[in-house]
Structure 1
Amino acid sequence: MLETAYLRSHPEEARKRLGKRNVDADALLAEADRLDEQRRSTQNALDAKQAEMNAQARTIGELMKAGKKAEAEAAKAHSGELKEAIAGLKDALDAAEKALHDHLCTIPNVPQDRVPEGKIPDDNAVVMQHGAIPELGTGAKPHW
C-alpha cells in the first residue's frame, strides 16, 4: 500500500509510474488527495477542540480554587458541550481514516523505473532464457 506522505511529496513520480500499470492514476491520486485532506482537516479540528477542552479544564480548576463556584459550573456546562463535539469529531476522524485506508488499498504499488511500458505480455522484454522452450502437444492442459 502506498503511503500518503509519498503521494504528497512525489505526486508526479507516482502518477508517471502508476501509468505503467495501465490504471487511471489521475483519478486514483486525486481521490486519495481529497480523502487525505479531509482526514487532515478533521484531525486539526479535533486537536483544536481538545486544546480548548484542556484550557477549559485549567480554567475550571482556577475558578474553583478562587471560590467562584457559579462561574466554574458555567464552565463545566461548556465543557460538556466540548466533550460532545470532541466525540463527534473522533467519529468523523475514524470514518475519514477508514475511507482513506480503503481507497489506498485499491491503488496498486508503483512499479520500478526499469519496468517497460506495455499492455500485453508481448510488450515485456526477454532478459534471459535458459534452454529451448518446450513445445506442448495438442490438447495439452495448463498446469494451473
Structure 2
Amino acid sequence: MRINVRLAAALALAAAGLAAGLATGGDASGGFGTARPPATASSDGAAPEALSDRLAEIRRSLAIRPDQEAAWQDYADAMRYLDQATQDFEQRQAEGGAQDDRMERSRHALLLGAAIGDLQKNLSPDQFARARRLTEDLASSVTCVGLRGI
C-alpha cells in the first residue's frame, strides 16, 4: 500500500491542531479564536507590506524556475485563501456568530500542510530550506493566533 506523503503530513498537522485544541479545553483565550493583532504602520509611517508583495518578494528570493512556477502559484494561492478565510472567521467572531474553533483549526492545518508539502516536493532542498526561513512568519500572518504554534 502506497502512502501519499502530502496526505500523511496534512493529517499529522491536523491531528496536532486537534490535540492542541483539546489540550486547551476549547478555551479561546489566546487560542485559535483570538483575532490577529491589527496590522500597524511601520516606524516610518508606511503601511504594512501586503501579502501579495510579500509573496512576490519571497518568490524572487527563491529564484523560482519555470518548472516550479505551478507549485509556487499553488502555494501563493493557498496563503491568500488562508488569509481570506481567517479574515472571514475573525469577522464572524466580531459579529458574535457561532464559531467552531477546532474545525477551523483543522481546516487551516490541512490546507497549510498540503501547501507546504507540495512546495517541498517541487523545490530543491536548498530552495526549500530558504523558503522555510523566508516564510517562517508568513503562516502566522495568514492564520489566527491559535494555529501559530502548530
What's the TM-score once normalised by structure 1's chain length? 0.36
Structure possessing the higher relative contact order (Cα contacts under 8 Å, 6 or more residues apart): 2
**TM-score, with normalisation over the residues of structure 2?**
0.35
Greater C-alpha radius of gyration: 1
